[in-house]
Amino acid sequence: MTQFLVVKSIYKNFGKLAALSDISFSVDQGELVGLIGPNGAGKTTLFNVITGFYRATSGQVIFKDKDISQAYPNELAEMGMVRTFQIPRPFKELTVHDNVAVGTLFNPERMHKTHLSPEEFVEKILEGVRLFPHKDQLAGNLGYGNLKLLEVGRAQGPLPELLLLDEPFAGLTISEIQSISEILRGLAAKGLTLVIVEHKLKELMKLVKRVIVLHYGKKIADGNPEDISRNEQVLKAYLGRRWSQTNA
Amino acid sequence: MEILRKEFLSMVIVGIISVGLAITAPASGYDYYLIGLLTSACLWVVYVVSWDLLAGYTGMLNFGQLLFAGVAAYTVALLEIHFPMARPLMMLIGLIAGICSSLMIGLPSLRVRAAYFALVSFSVPLVFFRITLTFIEIFGGEYGLSIPRVFSRESLYYTSIILMMATLITMRLVVKSRIGMALQCIREDEETARAVGINIQRYKLMACLISAFFTSLAGICGFYYMGHVGPEIFGMMGSFEVVIMGVVGGAGTIFGAALGGGVLSVLLEYMRPIAEYRNIGYAILLVGVVMMASRGIWGSLASYIKK
């Protein structure tokens, strides 16, 4: 496979507003990438374009050598690309177990890749996200922290190769962030490719190997966390011109 | 196969109730009033259970369930009057027409959600209501279409019991299968359902077609029983009653809907002497159930037993 995830000059306009302009980057299999930017930079829009929830105004998205610009989210799940939502969107009236099992149920052809029975597979995921003790609870009764974990768990149901996480740390306490970071690190260690949109840079920078920065719908930087945190354009975007001049 | 094992008990109960109903008629000495009452109760159960698949499981709050029954019944009536042919063939055409009519609310449901879907489902039957009143030569206007009796009351009575039993068992198997899981996920959150790989268009249409299949059969059965179909089947009252029965019985369980349909249709019949006042009684019942037991009678029973 030569092209795992390639984003080729994506434009997305909402009316006259250009939410994304000329975004291009590629992600190799097994990478752990962060996608950051100030509020309104277009991170979530880009996410929605990649995962098929929005159609790009122009440009191309390629996943596993296939053009997926016109694909639907459910088709992408079948291909092995799954996303999570920033604000948890569980199936509230289903149990925690079933929330995860749904993904395995509707992607049976992907399940051949595990050597586990669907039941064992679901249990392993639940243990991985530390929700096994809650498995028979209705998802609607979980607390916020557990719902964030369930987002990650549910997204593993279809056995993805590429997992896109929309602000997995949002609204969590420091210890919760650390435990979710640990879970994500574990997934990455198993070879899963992760793209993470995040606001909490301090935690994210510790987790990822590479960072892509968006600002006003444009890509302004792409590199390893150390370089990014010293990049003048990034500092300007986050902290304003004066700060970056005096401290650069 | 595992579903069959889990659902075995409930199916036995459905079977016992059906057999019980079937021996009621001979036991009563073929009392036509009783037969009529129970036939209509069975058909209401079919309507409400079919509604439950859409509203209770898929989250498509359908305010026009009887549309399917009406289209099927009018189709059969027109064939009976103008193009008589072998009866099974006429019924089959009626059934197909009824199922096709579900696309009129199924296809819009792919684009509109929740309250907007309810509005669509509410207005489509009203269009048919107008059409039947406008083209009097074809649809008989307010009088509707009538045919002489072709099947005995008894045979239609047994047919409606079998239809009810078949509907209950099929629906129960459907909702416990992969399809049912997909429908519930769509009800809970369409975006999440898509994100985990569920083709929501396909499953929504599937739910519409299954629901319309049984509703159309019940519509045809009801038409032959009454020997008549009129525009009121496209009116607001009938389809609203389906919703009320479903909500009072308890949506999203199939059996709750069956309970609501069975009990309320009989109750409604016994409230007939108080004429228009029955709507008041009905409204009070609805408000009472919604306030005291928001998950319907079945939901309250189930949670009471679990305690």
**Residue B277: which residues within 8 A CB-CB, separation 6 or more?**
none
**Nearest CA among B157, B146, B147 for reference residue B40:** B157
Q: Is residue A185 part of a domain?
A: no
Residues A171 and A75 reside in one and the same domain? yes
Q: Is residue A207 part of a domain?
A: yes
Angstrom distances, CA of residue A165 to CA of A30, A32, B1, B99, B210? 15, 11, 37, 41, 37
Residues A129 and A240 reside in one and the same domain? no
Indicate which CATH number applies to the domain containing A50.
3.40.50.300
Residue A74 has pLDDT above 70, yes or no: yes
Residues A54 and A171 reside in one and the same domain? yes
| Structure token pair of residue B181 | 């899981």
- For the whole model, what pTM was predicted? 0.90
| Cβ atoms B191, A86 nearer than 8 A | no
Residues A8 and A37 reside in one and the same domain? yes
Site of tokens 């038409």: B223
- Quick check: B86 contacting A, CB < 8 Å? no
Residue B117 has pLDDT above 50, yes or no: yes
| Cβ atoms A115, A128 nearer than 8 A | no
| Angle at CA of residue B183, ends B182 and B186, nearest 5° | 90
Q: How many residues does chain B have?
A: 307
Which residue pairs, CB below 8 angstroms and at least 24 apart, start in A129-136?
A: A129/A153, A129/A156, A129/A183, A130/A179, A130/A183, A131/A96, A134/A96, A135/A95, A135/A96, A135/A97, A136/A95, A136/A96, A136/A97
- Quick check: B195 contacting A, CB < 8 Å? yes
pLDDT at A247: 54
* Distance in Å, alpha carbon of A157 to nearest chain B alpha carbon: 7
First-to-final CA distance of chain A: 41
**Nearest CA among B68, B76, B115 for reference residue B210:** B68
pLDDT at A115: 79
Residue range(s) defining the domain that contains residue A141: 86-160
If phi > 0 it is left, if psi is from -120 to 50 it is alpha, else beta; for residue B186 that is alpha
Would you call A74 and B197 a contact, using CB atoms and an 8 Å cutoff?
Answer: yes
The partner residue sitting opposite B197, judged by closest CB among A91, A93, A107, is A107
Residue B271 has pLDDT above 90, yes or no: no
Cβ pairs bridging A and B (under 8 Å):
72
Residue where a domain stops, chosen among A135, A160, A185: A160
Residues A66 and A171 reside in one and the same domain? yes
- Quick check: A217 contacting B, CB < 8 Å? no
pLDDT at A248: 46
> What are the pLDDT digits (tens) for A141-190?
999 999 999 999 999 999 999 999 999 998 899 999 999 999 999 999 99
Which runs of consecutive H residues, i.e. helices, occur in chain B?
2-6, 8-27, 32-52, 66-82, 87-101, 103-109, 114-134, 136-139, 153-176, 178-188, 190-195, 200-226, 236-249, 255-270, 277-292, 296-306
Distance between CA atoms of residues A141 and B71, nearest Å: 43
| Cβ atoms B246, B240 nearer than 8 A | no
User: Which chain B residue is nearest to residue A77, measuring alpha carbons?
Assistant: B197
The partner residue sitting opposite A106, judged by closest CB among B184, B188, B197, is B197
| Residue scoring higher pLDDT (B290 or B107) | B107
Would you call B195 and A93 a contact, using CB atoms and an 8 Å cutoff?
Answer: no
Residues A98 and A45 reside in one and the same domain? no
Q: Which of residues 58-77 of B touch A (CB under 8 A)?
A: none
The residue type found at B102 is: S
pLDDT at A246: 59
3-state secondary structure of B229: strand
In a mutagenesis test of the B interface, which of A102, A117, A152, A162 is the best target, namely the one with the most B β-carbons within 10 Å? A102
Q: Is residue A242 part of a domain?
A: yes
Across A85-89, A234-238, B83-87, least confident range: A234-238
Distance between CA atoms of residues A76 and B70, nearest Å: 40
Residues A247 and A173 reside in one and the same domain? yes
A203 DSSP assignment:
H
Residues A92 and A68 reside in one and the same domain? no
Residues A39 and A105 reside in one and the same domain? no
ipTM of the complex: 0.88
| Cβ atoms A10, A2 nearer than 8 A | no
Which of B16-20, B97-101, B253-257 tops mean pLDDT?
B97-101
Task: For chain B, give the mean pLDDT.
Answer: 91
> What are the pLDDT digits (tens) for A201-245?
888 888 999 999 999 889 998 988 888 888 888 888 887 766 656
**Chain A residues touching residue B198 (CB < 8 angstroms):** 74, 102, 106
Residues A63 and A131 reside in one and the same domain? no
> What are the pLDDT digits (tens) for A20-72?
999 999 999 999 999 998 888 889 999 999 999 999 999 999 999 999 999 99
Q: Is residue A202 part of a domain?
A: yes
* Distance in Å, alpha carbon of B264 to nearest chain A alpha carbon: 27
Domain regions of chain B by residue span? 2-234
Q: Which of residues 152-181 of A touch B (CB under 8 A)?
A: 154-155, 157-158
- Quick check: B202 contacting A, CB < 8 Å? no
Torsion on CA atoms B263, B48, B126, B98, rounded to nearest 10: -130
User: Which chain B residue is nearest to residue A52, measuring alpha carbons?
Assistant: B195
- Quick check: B194 contacting A, CB < 8 Å? yes
The residue type found at A189 is: A
* Distance in Å, alpha carbon of A204 to nearest chain B alpha carbon: 24
Q: Give me the phi and psi of A212, to 5 degrees please.
A: -110, 130
Q: How many domains does chain A have?
A: 2
The residue type found at A180 is: I
Site of tokens 């510790």: A206
Q: Is residue A52 part of a domain?
A: yes
> What are the pLDDT digits (tens) for B252-267?
889 999 999 999 999 8
| Structure token pair of residue A117 | 């029975």
- Quick check: A144 contacting B, CB < 8 Å? no
pLDDT at A243: 60
> What are the pLDDT digits (tens) for B140-184?
989 999 999 999 999 999 999 999 999 999 999 999 999 999 999
**Nearest CA among A186, A222, A206, A160 for reference residue A29:** A160
| Cβ atoms A45, A12 nearer than 8 A | yes
**Beta pairing class for A32-36 and A210-215:** parallel
* Distance in Å, alpha carbon of B186 to nearest chain A alpha carbon: 9
Distance between CA atoms of residues A128 and A134, nearest Å: 13
Angstrom distances, CA of residue B94 to CA of A192, A236, B51, B149? 53, 70, 19, 18
Residue A104 has pLDDT above 50, yes or no: yes
Residues A4 and A56 reside in one and the same domain? yes
The secondary structure element, H or E, covering residue A181 is helix A174-189
- Quick check: B305 contacting A, CB < 8 Å? no
| Cβ atoms A96, A135 nearer than 8 A | yes
Residues A69 and A172 reside in one and the same domain? yes
